[in-house]
Structure 1
């Protein structure tokens, strides 16, 4: 029986952008924890029409016990968090996508036996996940919020990253993200170039992300489509991840629907990792809010 840490609590799902996995995982996670998720889309509330993020954060935070926000510019998340009287969790912003990376890490640990022949079989249910050996994780495509969280996560867990993106400035890592990468000391375990074939050499895992639907982007990224041919110099047992939704230009059917693909277990894990984040962040916040935090700090 899951924790009922959200019993009698309401979590606001503040979504300025549409979603399948993030919305469904958040709503089902809140229910499993005994709470209620209130979906607030861009057509449902005054945010961006007649009300600022600051005022919206105060109003919603006065009625709910947590805010899960999927926004455009990262500054919107920062403003919501600055003025909200309850915790704010980033469901996606222009710079970061932390809940996706949580699901990816869990997926790799669940499939540790695929990367270490000594483990041989998956761990039994309700048993601790095995230690994941250090991996080489390759990312090909443009610099997106998914990649940005990978850059500050995998090196801290002992993994190495190899990234290939076009040399054009629009496809490179934003300075605020790279500043955070270097601040954390992650840069020493990251190789970055423009050749996707070089990036996937020796890779245990190959990752790409959704491309914007613009002809110019498809033309620029044409050589970055993930295929068996592209990854011929990867680890022979390499696996594939994609945050979804996926288009065939990004990865062909042979890889996406084949035995290398972990995309659907990865998608399933959005639910369990968001559930854990809700339990940890919102579950300790009762209707008294500040009183609870005061007790926790003491």
Structure 2
């Protein structure tokens, strides 16, 4: 049994298949062919998909429930106030009980160790829907969006990340390098990328003839970039440090000045929710912005994850 914990756990080809599978389901979903819908709907008919969420969510919850329903499964949302997890029952006991009754578990949690514990004790696939170290579903949807808009199979691209060293860029940087996209990451002084991610990124960059750059200069990272990306500067649970974080991130807002050094046909991405300190309205709502296409693609990323890790039991071959 295979779980989806992070993009670095996948081979380059496996990750590309996940993105292609998301693209396949998007086309099917948009075409609205009833016979195709019925065929897919039988895959999890009569089964349950558990959503264990200890953090609030918009896109992850909607996309996961939608994907489960697409395959005929019944999504069951289990928020932190809905079950005994970590209150009156051990993590182990809860995992054993929940996994015995469902086809898979989507887990949106705080600590990466929680994902590892779920994987160790679960009898069904675990899909990491966000933890403090990784966010693989976001990476699948982001690369689908880039493929649609800029076609990384035919064009050599550069992605510039301007912001925090967080779970989103941990998976996104690895994902980009796996498909041949150069990556430049600019973080404020005092904020560094996770060493494990950096080591893995460097290996993939060498193997795939890509550039992987770390800097504290947002303009340097943005120079000639085809894709500009940022995320929240203050993550959930860090609200107490907001004032200090905003001082640290001064000069890291994506604005017209920063965009002026990027490729003229750049696109702007953000996984949402967005705050004004991260990007100006001028950029966020411009013709360069593809944030809402990106958000929609979370649905098809969840479909791809369910289809490969649950319906096809983690086998990336012989997909139907």
TM-score category (smaller protein): 0.7 to 0.9
Structure with a larger share of its residues in helix: 2
Report the 3-state secondary structure (helix = DSSP H, G, I; strand = E; otherwise coil) of the residue aligned with 1:202.
Answer: coil
- The aligned residue for residue 159 of structure 2 is 137
Shift of 1:179: 3.7
Which is worse superposed, 181-190 or 274-283?
Answer: 181-190
Q: Residue in 2 aligned with 1:73?
A: 111
Structure 1 pair 55–207 and aligned structure 2 pair: CA distance change class (3 A): same
CA RMSD of aligned residues (A): 2.0
- Structure 1 runs (4+) deviating above 6 angstroms are none
Aligned residues: 270
1:184-226 deviation digits (Å, cap 9, x = unpaired):
4569621111010111001000000112140111111121000
Q: What is the alpha-carbon distance in structure 1 between the residues aligned to residue 62 and residue 206 of structure 2?
A: 32
1:132 and 1:84 map into 2 onto residues whose CA distance is 40
Q: Is the 8 A contact 2:158 2:182 kept in 1?
A: yes
Structure 1 alignment gaps of length 5 or more: 114-129, 286-291
Higher-RCO chain (CA-CA 8 Å, sequence separation at least 6)? 2
Aligned residue runs from structure 1 range 260-279, under 5 A = 260-279=288-307
Q: CA deviation at 1:132?
A: 4.3
**Structure 2 unmatched ranges of 5 or more:** 1-35
Secondary structure, aligned partner of 1:46: coil
The equivalent of 1:177 in structure 2 is 197
State the distance in 1 between where 2:78 and 2:244 align. 33
Partner of 1:254: 282
Partner of 1:239: 267
What are the equivalent positions in structure 2 for 1:204-243 lying under 5 Å apart?
A: 204-212=226-234, 213=239, 214-243=242-271
Q: Secondary structure at the match of 2:251?
A: helix
Q: How does 1:23-34 map to 2 (within 5 A)?
A: 23-34=61-72
- What pairs with 1:25-104 in structure 2 (closer than 5 Å)? 25-104=63-142
1:283 counterpart = 2:303: no
Q: 1-side partners of 2:104 and 2:93: how far apart?
A: 15
TM-score (norm 1): 0.86
CA distance in 2, matches of 1:75, 1:132: 38
Does the Cα contact within 8 Å between 1:99 and 1:274 map onto a contact in 2?
yes
